[in-house]
Every structure is written in C-alpha cells, then in structure tokens.
Structure 1
Amino acid sequence: MSPRPKKTKEEVVAPTTETTEATASPIAEKTTKPRAKKTKTETKTETETKHEKATPAEAAHESKHPKTHILQAEINIGMTGHVDHGKTSLTKALTGKWTDTHSEELKRGISIRLGYADALFYEYPGLEGAAKFGSLKEKEGKQGKILRKVSFIDAPGHETLMTTMLSGAALMDGALLVIAANEPCPQPRTAEHLMALKIGNIQNVIVVQNKVDLVTKENALKSYNEIKKFLADYGYTNAPIIPVSANFNANVDALIQTIQEHIPTPKGDVEKPFKMYISRSFDVNKPGTELDKMLGGVLGGSISQGTLVKGQKVEVTPGIEGKPIQIEITSVRNADGELDRANPRGLIAAGTKLDPGITSMDKFKGQILCAPGTLPAPTDKLAIDFFELDRLLGNKLPFPHVHELMVLTVGTNTIVGEVVNVKKSRIDLVLKSKMTIEKGQKIAISRRETAAWRLAGYGIAV
C-alpha cells in the first residue's frame, strides 16, 4: 500500500475550523461524505417537492445554502432592561439556552458579557390565536412550520456594564425591554437602556412585563400603568406591552406572536461592500493541541452589509496599534455549523489564520471586519456635533468642558476621549487609541456623574 500523502497546514485547518463548540456540527460532517449522483429529473422532482412544503423562509434559505441547509438568523433582537429583571431567563424561555456561561456570571448571578442565543420561530397549523406560535418543532401534536430564525443578544443590566450594553445595541434590529412587574417603573437602567435604543434609532421595541407571577392582579395593573406613562415620556407610546412569567414559560407564545407582528425582518443589503462589527473573538484550540493541528483565531459578530464566504480577503480595522491588517477567511459558521455564505444579520463566527493568542478572550472586540480599503483610515482625533439627552432620572449634567473625559461607544468599540475644544455644540476630542469611524456615524456618549458613568447623549461624527 502506498503511503498517504501528508496534508498541508491549510488542508488541516479549513475542514475542521470550530467556534466555541467542542465537537463539529453533525450537519457539517454529513456534507463531507460523498453522495450518490442524481439524475436531472430526480433532482428537479426533489427540489419541487421541497419548495411545495417549505415556508418562504425555508425556501429562500435553500436557494442561498443548497449544500448544508443550515438556516442563518435573519434578524438580531436585543434583550435589554434593568439588572435582575429576568432578561437571561426570558432568553432561555425563548431559545432554550442559558446565556450566562462565564464563571463570574454564574457566581454573581448577573450577566457580565453580551450573551447570544438563536431560536427558530414556528407556526402550528390547526391552532388558533397566540397558541399557534412557538419555538418548538412540535406543539400539541402539530408539526410546526418555520417562520424565521432569530438571534437574541442578551445585554447586561448592571450600572457598571452600560458600555457593554451600548456595544451590543450596535448589532440590534429590534429590542425587547424587560421590566419586572414587582418593582416600580422606571428603574435607572430601564430608562438608560431605552435611551440607548433611541440613540441607536431602534424603533421596533416590545416591552415584556416579566415576573407577573410574583404580584397580584391589582399590582400587575398598577405596574402596567407605570410602564405606559414611562413609554410615553420617552416617545415609545405605541410599544406593545406583553405580560409574561419567564420562569414558568407563561405567555411566551403571545410574546413570539407579537415579535412576529411588530419586529419585521430588515432588508439586508448584500450588494454593498462587506462590513461586520466584531463583538467576540476566540482561541478555539484546546490546551495541548499540536502545533500543526492548531486553528487560527475566530472573530465573531454580525454582518451589517455585504456577504462573507470562505477564502474571502478582508481587512481588520483599526487593526493592531492603529494599523489595519488584511487576512483571509478560512471558514464561516453559525451555531449550527458551517455556511456556504453568510448574509447580513445573525451571529457569525469567521475562522482566520490570525495567531489565536491575539484573538483570545475577546481581544478583537470592537474591531470591524470589512472589504479592504472601504472604510476611512483609523484616527485618534474626532470632531462631533453633541446632542444632550433629556433625563427623567438623576441630575442634569453641565455642558461638556475642555479636559473632560468621555467614554465613546462607536459600533461595538468603546474608547475614552478627552475634550480639547468646545464651540457651541461642536466638540473636538483626542482619543486614547485609534479607532475607525465613518462620517455621519452616531456615537453614544457616557459622562461621569459622581462615581459612575452615565449615558448622557450622542454625537454625530463630522
């Protein structure tokens, strides 16, 4: 028997690139096995049969991903609200996944980092009203038909983690604002998160009145009226309010129905140059992995425009020490397996040939992955038109002044800037490190109030 030829490093890396899962997707494994060839007639008949049974979401996906049939999420929905109001519990009720996985999160019982989970929404023929919606394949003996796949972004609600929430808001197309029925409304982070959504121009917001199982009917109605007034004060008068008990999965079907009706799938512009905000980065290699079997760093985030495929040349900006770097994509995956092509929305993991040591522990969070040469050069100087937010809670801050430090959130990047000049609403800043920003881009601005940073307004880059 002749000896088997040795594989190159690229041949070892490409077929086995992983994200955070320890094992490869069974769907991806199946695609590597040889398949028997079908005649043109057989293929046509099978395709026609599939599209007769498929929903529009399934049929559209099959046309884009004919090999793997792995659905990509088509919308990102944020889970926002005050600390301990039940955001992570509600994420689990909708997706089946508990997104607090970091050891410190488990110990403290709060979200510290952005959490991510996907859910398939189904409709069940034969059932009526809210009961015909859900996130399970089967309900009351009825087989569900897929409506769409949704990515949820679970944002932390603690006051010290507001900048983390703001970086997550850059990825959101709509949001659920979770408000506990057993506490007065608004709580500080309830108001601040809604302001953040307003800055991000996120209009499609649904309020989830959680923990209704802990209050009487009278107190639930009192809470409802407080929420209505709060929403009117912030310009979200028409936002639906859905009472639920996340821990008991009560009324979750009504919430899914409301999401389907009030948070439509945005139109993804696949013709524009590729751009993806990086919100996570990883080293997926286990300790002790042999050098020739090590995989490159993985960059996670959401595509805002364009598409991404394996082998594509892209740029990471602002890069390392303010110098963009060009890399090649070795794999494109979501939580279910490898994709032929990634489109806008959903949470994507892009395999690269970067040293995994420099991408570990979210070190590339805040960077942008884009088509080479399509974004402005990184800069450490910024001029903005500043817009102050009206605040219902807390004291009004004086107008920004020279030498004041501000925390700026641009996309998924958070950076400190020092004010060097103020002329009416125009503010010039020098940044602590370089960042990539486009003219006209909105920037969330946090300012120090006593011992904490508070969301105070936003700026428009000029």
Structure 2
Amino acid sequence: MAGTHRQPEVNIGLVGHVDHGKTTLVRALSGEWTDQHSEEMKRGISIRLGYADATFRRCPEEEAPECYTVEDHCDEHDVDTEVARTVSFVDAPGHETLMATMLSGASLMDGAVLVVGANEEVPQPQTEEHLMALDIIGIENVVIAQNKIDLVDGEGARENYEQIQEFVEGTVAEDAPIVPVSAEQEINLDVLIETIEEEIPTPERDPDADPRMYVARSFDINRPGTTWEGLTGGVLGGSLVAGELDVDDDLELRPGREVEEGGQSEWQSISTTVRSLQAGGEDVDTVTPGGLLGVGTGLDPSMTKGDALAGQVAGHPEALPPTWESFEMEVDLLERLVGAEEGETIDEINTGEPLMLTVGTATTVGAVTSAREGECEVNLKRPVCAETGDVIAINRRVGARWRLIGIGRLQG
C-alpha cells in the first residue's frame, strides 16, 4: 500500500572519504540532506552524525532490480508502489579530525555502505581509516557504492573498480558487492537498493530485553523567546539497540552529569520520563530497535542543547550497565597507523600517556595508569556507561591529531 509508514528497522552507515558523495547519496535515496547543522552547510561536510530515513519500495509490475525505487508511484505502469523496508542512514563524517564521531556512529550501525569516488585514486586516507573502523567494530554486512561514475569514462571506471577490489582484500569488505552509481544523476540506484536489501538484512532482536538506547545527539527544539508555559522538554536522538520503549516510561541516563557536593564532585545518573517518541519522522507510542529515533523527555532543555548528552546510555532505571571512572582493558594494536608509510609501526602504550577512547557513542580521554603488553588500565576524564567485554576504539595523539591505533575490550 503506497504511503504506508513503518519505523526504520535497520541502521545503515554511510562511510568513506570526504566529498565522495555520501550525503548526496542519502539525498537521492531519502529526499533528505543529512547535513542539518548550519556550520555543516557552510563547510559542506557532515560534522556530527547526520541521519535520514529512506523507505525502499517495489513496483508490483516490474522485475528486479528495475522494480526498486523510493517513489510512491510508478509512472511507467501507473500503479502505486509497495513498501519493501524502511531503513535509517547514518552519515558518518569523512573529515579526518572527526574519526571519533565516525567510530561512535559505527556502534549504531547494523551494516554499512562504503562510498568510494570513481574519479579519485583508491584508497584515499579516510576511505582506509573508515574501512578499518568497520573492521574493528565488526560490521560485516558491507556494500560498496562506486560513486560519480558519470565523471569518468569506461576505462577509468574499470581501473577504479579494480583498485577497490585490491584495497578491500583481507578486510570485512573483501566479498562485498561493488555497485557503480551516480548519486548526482540518480544512475543505478535501483541496483544499489536491491543490493542493500540482499546484503544488509534486518538483525533479529529480542523484544523482551531491557531497553537500551545509545544517545548520539541531544537538542533543545524550543525557539528563542519561547515563554516558559510553551517550553518543550529536551530531546535525545540515537538508537534503541535492545528492548522496547514506550511513552510515559521512566528513563535513566548514565553516566549522567557531574554534581558538586561539599567540595567533592561525583557523577550521578539523570532520571526523567519519556514524554514523546518519534521514529521515521512520525510520532509513535512505542519504539523497537532499528532506525534512529527522537525521545522527547521531561528534562530541562538547557541540559540537552548542543549535543550535551551525546554519549549517554538510556534505559529503564536500575537496568543499565555500570558507570566506569577507570577500567582495565585488553589491547590489540594495529600493525601500523592508517595511511602511514610502510615500516612505520605503532609503539606500545606507555604509562602516563593520554588516549582518546570511544565506547558506544561516548568519547572520553583516559590517562594510562599502568601498561603491560596486551593490556592497560586507564583513568577517565569523563566516565562511561558500558558492559564488560564492550569494544573500545583507542586513539593516540600523533602530531596535531588523534589517530586510531587499536582496539580494546573492557575487562573491568
């Protein structure tokens, strides 16, 4: 039935080098730009995670792949199209200093589309870094979109295709299908949709599990000058990874916020209520895992503005993982820095050095208090809420920026 709405049931990351056309591809598939921040509009790159929902549809009168579309109506056969599936695209920034944002977004992804520009050499530095992030976090359902084929001739496209095949050897994307497309000219999008439908299935989820939401964004939706009677509570944006969440549920956020008491400061969880839920752009009473959602809360909007609560974990009171101010982790270092020259190896982690750690959607800096081969202990500047065994992306300061050097597993 045309116009049927469904909550998005799967999160698909769009990853790849800056300017290879990820955001244009989202617009072609969903009709929305994911660059929603004014700063991003100016710079033309996604700073924070952008996201947009897309409903894939099928024309009942057409064979695959031509049947796949995002339009409500098939003009050629003059029939309404049928909903196949609604997905959420997470557009991860390709700008090099924003790797931490990409990694925090990766924790929300069930699969990924790696966008590679056909008009540039493969790999570009961020293409390599993003693929490594997918490898680290273990995202195995990958589709490669060879974009901008309208800018190269047949021979150039073939050469680029072979470079991509060589580049993904030995990674999670080794057997990933490569689909040549032009997002700008909307060429081959039906084949891309069919490939996503086949390669990135909706994961099985347990509806009876305790609800758990990774908060990736938070905002104040009130306009300047709103009177206090008209104020709406703060909004959380992110993804429910387990369980179900209903309007009027009690909600706890960990690690919460830092509170000063008697000259001492400690982190306390935040309690609130779910006032409204939005999924796929519509108000709903219940949300299930999959897709990106907005949760209207009873929180003072000043607490949520400007992504202040990004990195929190939300769920029912007393049902969340513990909050850690320090922990021990197993460490597995990469063989070399991404994009580094051959022979440039990564040094062991040293006691006293600062590391930037990404756990779920939280990014924090930790000082290493003890380091042995294969493991280290860190004191965190800002605590995180996480389970034992969770994967941690480890970044070290190299020159003027943080670089991915390995992964950790939280031991406790």
Q: Is the 8 A contact 1:168 1:412 kept in 2?
A: yes
Give the number of the structure whose residues are more often strand, by fraction: 2
CA shift digits 1:76-98 (9 cap, x unpaired): 00010011111001111111111
Of 71, 78, 97 in structure 1, the residue corresponding to residue 13 of structure 2 is 78
Match of 1:370 in 2: 315
The code of the aligned residue for 1:393 comes to G
1:442 maps onto 2:391 in alignment: yes
RMSD: 1.5
Match of 2:40 in 1: 105
Choose 1 or 2 for highest CA Rg: 1
Match of 1:348 in 2: 293
Note the 1:263-412 alignment, pairs <5 A.
Answer: 263-321=200-258, 322-391=267-336, 393-394=339-340, 395-412=344-361
> Does 135-144 or 236-245 show the bigger shift?
135-144
The code of the aligned residue for 1:111 comes to S
Deviation at 1:450, TM superposition (A): 2.2
1:223 maps onto 2:160 in alignment: yes
Provide the rounded CA distance (Å) in 1 between the counterparts of 2:52 and 2:381: 33
Deviation at 1:384, TM superposition (A): 0.3
Match of 2:141 in 1: 204
Deviation at 1:70, TM superposition (A): 4.5
Q: Is the 8 A contact 2:8 2:280 kept in 1?
A: no
Q: Is the 8 A contact 1:205 1:263 kept in 2?
A: yes
Q: Residue 255 and residue 147 in structure 1: after superposition, are their counterparts in 2 closer, same or farther (change >3 A)?
A: same
Provide the rounded CA distance (Å) in 2 between the counterparts of 1:295 and 1:125: 43
- Give the unaligned 5+ runs of structure 1: 1-53, 59-68
- 3-state DSSP class of the match of 2:65? helix
- 3-state DSSP class of the match of 1:233? coil
Deviation at 1:319, TM superposition (A): 0.4
Q: TM-score, normalised by structure 1?
A: 0.84
Provide the rounded CA distance (Å) in 2 between the counterparts of 1:122 and 1:390: 43
Q: Is the 8 A contact 1:316 1:326 kept in 2?
A: yes
CA shift digits 1:313-362 (9 cap, x unpaired): 12110001121122111111124321121001111111111110111111
- 3-state DSSP class of the match of 1:261? helix
Q: TM-score, normalised by structure 2?
A: 0.93
> Does 169-178 or 443-452 show the bigger shift?
443-452
- 3-state DSSP class of the match of 1:146? strand
Note the 1:165-244 alignment, pairs <5 A.
Answer: 165-244=102-181
Q: Is the 8 A contact 1:70 1:339 kept in 2?
A: no
Q: Is the 8 A contact 1:403 1:419 kept in 2?
A: yes
Q: Is the 8 A contact 1:78 1:174 kept in 2?
A: yes
Match of 1:416 in 2: 365
Q: Is the 8 A contact 1:323 1:378 kept in 2?
A: no
- Give the unaligned 5+ runs of structure 2: 259-266
Deviation at 1:235, TM superposition (A): 4.3
Q: Is the 8 A contact 2:348 2:373 kept in 1?
A: no
1:138 maps onto 2:73 in alignment: yes
Deviation at 1:405, TM superposition (A): 1.1
Q: Is the 8 A contact 2:17 2:127 kept in 1?
A: yes
Provide the rounded CA distance (Å) in 1 between the counterparts of 2:192 and 2:321: 41
Give the number of the structure whose residues are more often helix, by fraction: 1
Task: Count how many residue pairs are aligned between Structure 1 and Structure 2.
Answer: 397
Q: Is the 8 A contact 1:445 1:458 kept in 2?
A: yes
Q: Is the 8 A contact 2:54 2:70 kept in 1?
A: yes
The code of the aligned residue for 1:223 comes to N
The code of the aligned residue for 2:32 comes to K
- 3-state DSSP class of the match of 1:387? strand
Q: Percent of pairs identical after alignment?
A: 46
- 3-state DSSP class of the match of 2:246? coil
The code of the aligned residue for 2:94 comes to G
Q: Residue 79 and residue 235 in structure 1: after superposition, are their counterparts in 2 closer, same or farther (change >3 A)?
A: closer
Provide the rounded CA distance (Å) in 1 between the counterparts of 2:86 and 2:106: 19
Provide the rounded CA distance (Å) in 2 between the counterparts of 1:256 and 1:127: 15
Q: Residue 102 and residue 228 in structure 1: after superposition, are their counterparts in 2 closer, same or farther (change >3 A)?
A: same
Provide the rounded CA distance (Å) in 2 between the counterparts of 1:113 and 1:142: 39
